[in-house]
Amino acid sequence: MTALALAFCASCGKPHTEQRRDYKAEAEAASVHCVSKADCYLCGDGNIRYKEYYSQNNVGIISLNTFELLPIEINRYDQSGQLIEENTGCMVSRRFASDEDGFSANLMMDADRGVADAQLSFNDDQRLRLERTAQHLCEEHFREFVSDLYGNPYGVGIVDLENAKLYPIKENVIAFQAGDYYIHCDSRETDRDGNPLKMSVYVVYTPLRYGEGKAE
């Protein structure tokens, strides 16, 4: 009896391993919530609040649950959509808070140098909820998004605004490329279970230097 009790206690002392999420099954169940192309936030008018940004060669930090967006305007455009090719001579500081208790951020951006630094607090966007993601995307864009899911993605990601493509920020993925931008993620604060509370997100404009696709 004592040996059995000791064995049971030993097993209780082992760290809990989170069960891997079956994103394929989750996506199939959530896809019924997808919207039409006309109402899609990437290819339709669902994002009417941010519509002007989606043709610009910039990225944004986006809630993958509510689609609240923090545009990072390293490339600046005039009202006719033409690129403004001149320096600003200053750095920009901006505070962002979601209307729906999602992520918040303090953004510092130097457009002249093509860099930005966002200090991100996850708040209610700590976890990705695919059924909520589906409510903002057409089925085509939703399936494209979930096809790249693995590991532990958070409820916050990067959107390539020019190409209307989503990139989830994932646990243990430090850096990735999103269009012409290099993204570096650095977790700064976690809770007692190791879940991230705050993160630094660095954005650097890195267009191709030579050949097809290079910056004009």
pLDDT tens digit sequence for 80-108: 999 999 999 999 999 999 877 899 999 99
Decide if pLDDT at 2 tops 60.
no
Assign 3-state DSSP to the chain and report helix, strand, coil percentages, each to 5.
25, 30, 45
Higher pLDDT, 70 or 11: 70
Would residue 3 count as lying in a domain?
no
Closest CA to 103 of 210, 211, 196, 213: 196
Would residue 9 count as lying in a domain?
no
Which residues lie closer than 8 Å to 9 by C-beta, 6 or more apart? none
- Domain with 50, as residue range(s), is 24-74+91-205
| Residue 109 confidence (pLDDT) | 98
Decide if pLDDT at 14 tops 60.
no
- As for how many domains the chain has, the answer is 1
Closest CA to 64 of 152, 135, 120, 119: 135
Q: At what angle do helices 139-146 and 23-30 cross, to 10 degrees?
A: 170
Would residue 47 count as lying in a domain?
yes
Closest CA to 67 of 38, 42, 93: 42
Would residue 43 count as lying in a domain?
yes
Confidence of residue 216 (pLDDT cuts 50, 70, 90): low
**The pTM is what?**
0.86
Would residue 2 count as lying in a domain?
no
- Contact between 108 and 91 under an 8 Å Cβ cutoff? The reply is yes
Would residue 8 count as lying in a domain?
no
Would residue 81 count as lying in a domain?
no
Q: What are the tens digits of pLDDT across the range 159-185? A: 999 999 999 999 889 999 999 999 999
118: phi then psi, degrees, rounded to nearest 5: -115, 125
Q: What are the tens digits of pLDDT across the range 112-168? A: 999 999 999 999 999 999 999 999 999 999 999 999 898 889 999 999 999 999 999
| Residue 59 confidence (pLDDT) | 98
